[in-house]
Amino acid sequence: MTQHLDELVEKLSQLSVLDMAKLKEKLESKWGVKAAVAAAAPAAAAPAAAAASEATDYKVTLEGPIPDDKKIGVIKVVREVTGLGLKEAKDIVEGAPKVLKPTAPKAEAEEIQKKVTAAGGKVSLQGL
């Protein structure tokens, strides 16, 4: 019985905060009781926040608009980063916000951000 409980605790520990809230609602409905989890919610949110901050891959998005005097430099960086031709890179810069890389390792994403920022553009990184 102890092993079964340990397995259950391990599975519950892997749930996201949102899934825990859904589980709470389902159990309340099934058992006809009201659970008090106010004290557990902050403790459960901490591991979820830590996991979110430890993302290994990022979506790299070029933010817009790009100032006219900076477009040529940003287009050059976009071409370098994406391997696209001049017209395609120009279309991305002029159509910003646009995704430059749908997924990139943290080091690569930060390097892209530095290059674009140095050229006069702005990049946002979203952890995946």
Decide which of 11, 28, 53 is a domain's last residue.
53
Does 109 lie in the same domain as 123? yes
Residue 34 dihedral angles phi and psi, to the nearest 5°: -115, 120
Measured distance CA(56)–CA(79) in Å, rounded: 24
Average pLDDT of every residue of the chain:
81
Query: Is 79 exposed, middle or buried, given 0-12, 13-18 or 19+ CB atoms closer than 10 A?
Result: middle
Q: Assess whether pLDDT exceeds 60 at residue 45.
A: no
Does 47 lie in the same domain as 74? no
Contacts of 41 (CB under 8 A, 6+ apart): 17
Contacts of 99 (CB under 8 A, 6+ apart): 59, 60, 61, 62
Q: Give the domain extent around 18.
A: 2-53
Please give the pLDDT value at position 11: 82
Does 62 lie in the same domain as 99? yes
Please give the pLDDT value at position 3: 83
Does 63 lie in the same domain as 45? no
pLDDT mean over 73-99: 91
Alpha helix stretches (DSSP H) within 83-126: 86-94, 106-119
pLDDT mean over 56-73: 90
Note the pLDDT tens digit of each residue in 90-120.
Answer: 999 999 899 999 998 988 999 999 999 999 9
Does 103 lie in the same domain as 70? yes
Note the pLDDT tens digit of each residue in 22-39.
Answer: 887 787 788 777 765 444
Please give the pLDDT value at position 5: 80
